[in-house]
Amino acid sequence: MLTHLSLRLRIFLFFALLALGGAALVVGGMVLGYMRLGDPDALPAFIVAGLVASLAIIGLTTWVWVKFDEHVARPVEQLAAEMRARAHADVETGIDHAPARYLGDLAPAAAAVADHLTETRNAMAMEVGRETAKLSREKARLEALLAGSPDGVLFCTPEHNIALYNAQAGRVLGDTEALSLNRPLSDLLLPGPILQAYDRLRDPATAEDRADILCATVEGTRLLEARLHLMHLEGQETEAPGYVLRLRDQGRGLLVQAQRAHLLNDLLEGVTEALPTLPDSARADLTALTARIRREKSETDAKWWPLEALPAQTLATGLRARLARKDFPLTDDIADLRMRFDGFAAVRLLEQLALAWAGAGATGFHLSVSIADSMTAMVTLSATGPTPTPDKIAQWLAAPLTPGFTRFSGRDVVLFHGTRVTVEPASDGRASLRFPLRLSLSGSRTGPAAMRYDFDLLHARLPDQLSEARLRQLDFVIFDTETTGLNPQVDEICQIAAVRVVNGKLQPGERFDLLVNPGRKIPPASTAVHHVTNEMVADAPDVSQALTRFHRFAGGCPLVAHNAPFDMAFLQRRESEIGLRFDQPILDTVLLSAILFGGSAEHTLDALCDRLAIGIPEQDRHTAIGDAIATATAFAKMIPMMEAASLPTLGQAIAAFDRHARLIRHLN
C-alpha cells in the first residue's frame, strides 16, 4: 500500500519504525526488570537508563539512516533517473559512477546497459538510414520503371481507391484532371468488369492471380484493355488484397476491327440473300466462296479480341449473382471445363438476353454448359415461355452491353467470340438460346504471373575467380529428378524439375518442371514412389529433348541437388548424345548437412527439412518439383550457416566437400 511513496521516504519510514521499535523494546525491558526487582528506590535509575538507551538507539538508527540515504537510497534514485533519461530522453552521455560508488556492481552494470542502449540506438539509426536510403533508391527505380512504361499503371486499395499511378495513366484514361490519389476508381472507369474480375480472382478455387479484361471510361469515350494483378503482400493488415491495373488504350483499334467484322458479316448476309436470284453456275461458286469465308472468319473472329482461359463455372457464378439482384432465380448444370471468353462481357451478354426474355414473359431460367466437340463447348440458356424470333434476338443484341458505353453491344460480344446465338424451341413449353464457345486446350496460362525484382543485384560484383565468390552472391539452380529405377546405367529420367536461388533467396516462380518420356516402361514400384505413370509421360519430350531444355534453363549456374552424384549420373550419361556438358560446379546438400550438423546425424531430405523447420506437403513429397523446392529452401537457409562456419565462398565450400566425400560414398 506504500508503493506510491518514493524510495527514500519508504526507507526513512523503515528506519523510523526500526528506531521506535528498538526504543519500545528497551522501555519494555526496563519495565520488566524494575518489576522483577521490586525496589521503589531503583525507579529513577531505571527511567534514566531506559531514556538514555532509547535516545542512543534512536540516534544510532538516525545516523545509519542518514548514511544509508546518502550512499544508497539517494544514489539509487539518481541512478534510476539517469537510466530513465537515457531510455526516454535520448541522452547519450555516460552515467557518472561516483555518486553510486557504494552500490557495488550496480552502477557499472547500469552504465553498461545505458552504453549498450546508446550503441544499439546508433546502430539502429544507421541501419534505418541505410534501409531508408535503399528504399529511396528502389522507389526511384520503380518510379523510373513506371514512368518509362507505355501502359498506364494504377495501384488500387482493397476498397478500390487509387494509391499510386504513373504519368501514362492520365494519358491512357484521357482524364488527367480527375486522376488523383485516394480517388475511387469508379470515378474514372466503369467498375463492372473490374469488380467481377477482382471477386473471381479472390475466389479460393481460382488458381490464378491475374485477369485480362476490357473496361471503359466513365464518360464512355474509351475502351481500354486492362490486366488486373492481385497483390498478396506479406504482413498486410487487411484480409482483402490490393491490386494493380495495367491499362492500354487499344479500344480504337478493337472498335475499328469490330466495325470491319460487322461490315463483312453484313456483306455475307447480303450475298446469301441474293444467291437465289443468281444463275446456277454463279450460285454454286459463290456459295462455296461464302462458306469458306464464313469458316475462316469464324476462326479469326476469336483471335483479335483479348480473351481469357476461364472455368465454365464463372458464367454461372456471375450470371446468378447479377440476376439475384433483380430477383430472378437461376439453376445451372455446368461441366468441369475451361473455355476462352471475356468473363464480364459473356456474363453481361447472358444477363442481357435473360432480362430481355423475361420482359417477354419467360420464367424458370436454367444455364448449362457442356462439351459440343473436341474444340467447342455449348452454352445453353433455357426458360419456360415464348420462343423468341431471330429478329427479336437481333434486337436484343443491338442494345448497349454497358449503359455508359453505347458503342459496345451484345452483337459485338457475339462477334469477337466468333459465335452465333441460335434458338431451339422444345415441346415441353421451354425454349433455349444457345451459342458455342471455344475450349481452352492449354488448361491455364503458363509462365510467371508476377513481376520479380531484386535491386541488390545492381550492386553485386563477382570476383574474377568463381571459387572466390561468396555463396550469397551466386545464382544456383537446385534440381531433382524422378527415375524409372535406381541404376543410372540402365534406368532413365521420367521427370525433372528445378528452381533458382538468386542472391541467397529462393525464387519459387522461376521454375522448370517437365515430365519426360523415358523410352521404357515405368515399373509399378517406381510409380508407387513418385506417382509418375506411363500414361502421364506418353506424349512428353524424350530424355534428350528434356535435358537440352534443362541445360538451357540452368545456363552456367552451379547446380545443387540432394545426393547430387545420383542425379548427375543420369545427366552426364547423356552429354555426348545432346552435345552439351554439365560442367559447372556441383554442390550437394547432403554434404552441406554433414559439414554443418556432423557426420553422425541423419542426412535424408526429410531429416534435413525437419532440422530446419521446413514443411513439405505430403502431395509434393517424392515429386521432382516438390523435392526441388524443399532442397532449395534448405540450401538458402544453410548459406548463412556456412558463412558462420567460416565457409562463405564457393571454393571453401567445395574444399570442405572433399573432406566429407566419404559420406557420399557410404550413402551410395
Regarding predicted confidence, which is higher, 465 or 539?
539
Q: Is residue 663 very low, low, confident or very high in pLDDT (cuts 50, 70, 90)?
A: very low
Q: Is residue 222 very low, low, confident or very high in pLDDT (cuts 50, 70, 90)?
A: confident
Neighbours of 403 (CB within 10 A): 10
Given this model, what pLDDT does residue 256 score?
58
Do 651 and 474 meet the contact criterion of CB atoms below 8 Å apart? no
Do 354 and 323 meet the contact criterion of CB atoms below 8 Å apart? yes
Give the position of cell 556456412: 642
- Cα separation, 544 vs 477, in Å, equals 19
Do 196 and 223 meet the contact criterion of CB atoms below 8 Å apart? no
The pair phi, psi for residue 194, each rounded to 5°, is -70, -45
Given this model, what pLDDT does residue 367 score?
92
Given this model, what pLDDT does residue 450 score?
46
Q: Which CATH number fits domain 315-438: 3.30.565.10, 2.30.30.30, 3.30.43.10, 3.40.50.1580?
A: 3.30.565.10
Query: Looking at the DSSP assignment, which residues form a beta bridge with residue 499?
Result: 478, 511
Given this model, what pLDDT does residue 63 score?
92
- Cα separation, 499 vs 632, in Å, equals 7
Q: Is residue 553 pLDDT above 80, yes or no?
A: yes
Average pLDDT, the chain: 81
Q: What is the largest CA-CA distance in the chain?
A: 164
Q: Which candidate, 384, 327, 381, 376, places its Cα nearest to that of 353?
A: 381
- Cα separation, 434 vs 424, in Å, equals 8
Q: Is residue 269 pLDDT above 80, yes or no?
A: no
Given this model, what pLDDT does residue 445 score?
42
Regarding predicted confidence, which is higher, 255 or 542?
542
Given this model, what pLDDT does residue 476 score?
93
Q: Is residue 75 pLDDT above 90, yes or no?
A: no
Minimum mean pLDDT among 438-442, 508-512, 609-613: which range? 438-442
Over residues 56-78, mean pLDDT: 87
Question: 436 to each of 225, 373, 378, 450, 625, how far by Cα in Å?
Answer: 24, 10, 4, 32, 37
H runs (alpha helix) in 541-614: 543-554, 564-572, 575-578, 589-597, 605-611
Percent of residues, the chain, with pLDDT higher than 90: 18
Q: Could you read off the pLDDT of 564-577 as tens digits, one per residue?
A: 999 999 999 999 99
Regarding predicted confidence, which is higher, 464 or 116?
116
C-alpha cell at 362: 419467360
Do 605 and 540 meet the contact criterion of CB atoms below 8 Å apart? no
Q: Could you read off the pLDDT of 301-336 as tens digits, one per residue?
A: 555 556 777 888 878 888 887 888 888 889 999 888
Over residues 144-152, mean pLDDT: 70
C-alpha cell at 605: 531430405
Q: Is residue 196 pLDDT above 70, yes or no?
A: yes
Superfamily of domain 149-249: PAS domain (3.30.450.20)
Given this model, what pLDDT does residue 527 score?
92
- Cα separation, 430 vs 567, in Å, equals 63
Buried b (16+ CB within 10 A) or exposed e, 58-71: beebeeebeebbee
Q: Is residue 427 pLDDT above 90, yes or no?
A: no
Q: Is residue 252 very low, low, confident or very high in pLDDT (cuts 50, 70, 90)?
A: low
pTM, 2 dp:
0.50
The pair phi, psi for residue 605, each rounded to 5°, is -65, -40
- Cα separation, 663 vs 668, in Å, equals 9
Q: Is residue 561 pLDDT above 90, yes or no?
A: yes
| CB < 8 Å & 24+ apart, contacts of 2-6 | 6/77
Helix crossing, 192-202 with 343-359: angle to 10°? 110
Given this model, what pLDDT does residue 447 score?
41
Given this model, what pLDDT does residue 180 score?
78
- Cα separation, 179 vs 173, in Å, equals 9
- Cα separation, 247 vs 167, in Å, equals 12
C-alpha cell at 655: 574444399
Do 328 and 358 meet the contact criterion of CB atoms below 8 Å apart? yes
- HEC secondary structure over 337-387: CEEEECHHHHHHHHHHHHHHHHHCCCEEEEEEEEECCCCEEEEEEEEECCC
- Cα separation, 632 vs 616, in Å, equals 12
- Cα separation, 261 vs 284, in Å, equals 24
Give the residue extent of every domain in the chain.
1-147, 149-249, 315-438, 469-667
State CA 18 to chain mean position distance: 68
Q: Could you read off the pLDDT of 175-194 as tens digits, one per residue?
A: 666 677 788 888 888 888 88
Do 483 and 491 meet the contact criterion of CB atoms below 8 Å apart? yes
Do 558 and 586 meet the contact criterion of CB atoms below 8 Å apart? yes
Percent of residues, the chain, with pLDDT higher than 70: 82
- Cα separation, 112 vs 568, in Å, equals 55
Regarding predicted confidence, which is higher, 138 or 566?
566
CATH of domain 469-667: 3.30.420.10
Q: Which residues contact 359 (CB under 8 A, 6 or more apart)?
A: none
Q: Is residue 666 pLDDT above 50, yes or no?
A: no
Q: Could you read off the pLDDT of 477-532 as tens digits, one per residue?
A: 999 999 999 998 889 999 999 999 988 889 887 889 999 999 999 999 999 988 89
Regarding predicted confidence, which is higher, 36 or 299?
36
Q: What is the CA radius of gyration of the chain?
A: 41
The pair phi, psi for residue 17, each rounded to 5°, is -65, -40
